Chain A
């Protein structure tokens, strides 16, 4: 498992703010700078938010190079259109950006998101109530969180491909072009979605750039997008996926019965919901949408605009929700004809590395770990460079740390050494007279 967080070692001060913010305890501070345990990182971006020194960044591609190289075939993330002073209608944005050498794949995005929503609705309707609720695949961070911490829920992930990738495949099959595709990503999770896809062969998208960089270039070049023109087709249902609840709303429009859906955003809400789902709550719910960022993808760390403003903008522009029978037929035929919407392979679980490959050895190490943990101060101060005393005890049995890494244990050690020295100093040779003090 790869991740898309870049560390600037010169800026990292070795403070412990980021290790505390990580929901999967994936970060350690060793020798004054941080390391990320690749297998545990879910790319939620919490550490970037916690770092005051901006020592953490996104490991995306070089936008300057891509932009100056020629025509950019770009898949806009749904968050893209609300990042400027006003909401950019996708069609208007496409027209305006075509002069700048960017070809926004708006039609393919619309088709792909419609197809994903249509496929999801069909799968939900065909599932028996025992297998509901199903979980959205849209947020890659949520998928990684489930792989790591909620493996029981893997069977509930809806087998629908991420629509951003469906859009890329639709474009390839329509144009037969081999030109590289670029995704404008709002978060590290979507970068990793492309770089290290789960449950599929390499992604059909080649380059990924943080939306922030694209927006800055465009703003600096003074691009103007004509305001809403009534004659423009309002085909941008897909842009609502940037807000919490957008996906569930879209899916509900394609369902033949009324669906009971839940949509939550933010890391804490996501973890709470998955825990409750694992306990078998939510009977009667058909579908859950989780996003690890607050307010949905607008809260992503690579989105430059205030999430509150972009959220407000998206909510206040209207799109056409009623579907013509022709459109529904078109989607039904795409659903039957192509299998582009379907995930290729089941998503595997990614549980923590066992303490040892041998069970007896692992059990004895676990016992050792508990004994070490019992001796710890249990205040999770982070001064040892680990997020908690428990993580520290685990690192020690994995031979990745010493007990003296703990400042409290070190102090205890020094104090007992000092006592020993004192008692040695007080022991006098028999040939000397006892001092009379």
Chain B
């Protein structure tokens, strides 16, 4: 309908889904803001949660700090951030322990992926 390719929609859906789970499991709630432009969509995930002490570790596949409760429900496999990164053309993370985390991703409509 909008003339966007299905891969753009799929990637945007994966990113928002994973971001949403991160907000619920780790961030204690927050906001997902989507800015749609002519040639790209920017998805910002903002929370005032505990922050990430070691970003390098957090974006490694399989690393998780999710609670047993979340993991019992099948979440918290340590794939959230890596999955977001893989599906985004731009991936930026800004975090401070005790203050919160902001993840900014951009998907270009004409990218090669």
Q: Which residues on A are within 8 Å of B, measured CB to CB?
A: 151-152, 349, 351-352, 354-360, 362-363, 366, 369, 394
Please state if B6 and A359 are interface contacts (CB–CB under 8 Å).
Answer: no
Residue of A nearest to B2 (CB): A362
A-B residue pairs, 10 tightest by C-beta: A354-B3, A362-B2, A151-B6, A359-B38, A355-B1, A152-B6, A354-B2, A366-B1, A362-B3, A354-B1
Please state if B5 and A151 are interface contacts (CB–CB under 8 Å).
Answer: yes
Task: Give the contact-size bracket for chain B.
Answer: 10 to 19
Interface residues of B in 1-53 (CB under 8 A from A): 1-7, 10, 36, 38
Q: List 18 A-B contacts (CB under 8 A).
A: A151-B5, A151-B6, A152-B6, A349-B5, A351-B6, A354-B2, A355-B2, A356-B3, A357-B3, A358-B38, A359-B3, A359-B4, A359-B38, A362-B1, A362-B3, A363-B36, A366-B2, A394-B1
* Interface of B (DSSP majority class): loop
Q: Which residues on B are within 8 Å of A, measured CB to CB?
A: 1-7, 10, 36, 38
- Alpha-carbon distance between A394 and B2 when the two chains are bound, in angstroms: 12
List the A side residues contacting B7 at CB < 8 Å: 152
List the B side residues contacting A357 at CB < 8 Å: 3
The contact of B38 among A151, A356, A360, by CB within 8 Å, is A360
- Alpha-carbon distance between A151 and B10 when the two chains are bound, in angstroms: 12
Q: Of B3, B4, B36, which is in contact with the most chain A CB atoms at under 10 Å from its CB?
A: B3
CB distance from A39 to the nearest CB of B (A): 14
Please state if B2 and A152 are interface contacts (CB–CB under 8 Å).
Answer: no
The contact of B2 among A151, A349, A363, by CB within 8 Å, is A363
Task: Other than A352-B1, A359-B4, A366-B1, give 20 A-B pairs with Cβ distance below 8 A.
Answer: A151-B5, A151-B6, A152-B6, A349-B5, A349-B6, A351-B5, A351-B6, A354-B3, A356-B3, A359-B2, A359-B3, A359-B36, A360-B38, A362-B2, A362-B3, A363-B2, A363-B36, A366-B2, A369-B1, A394-B1
Residue of A nearest to B3 (CB): A354
List the A side residues contacting B1 at CB < 8 Å: 352, 354-355, 362, 366, 369, 394
- Alpha-carbon distance between A362 and B38 when the two chains are bound, in angstroms: 11
List the B side residues contacting A352 at CB < 8 Å: 1
Residue of A nearest to B38 (CB): A359
CB distance from A159 to the nearest CB of B (A): 20
CB distance from A145 to the nearest CB of B (A): 14
List the A side residues contacting B6 at CB < 8 Å: 151-152, 349, 351
List the B side residues contacting A362 at CB < 8 Å: 1-3
CB distance from B59 to the nearest CB of A (A): 23
CB distance from B31 to the nearest CB of A (A): 21
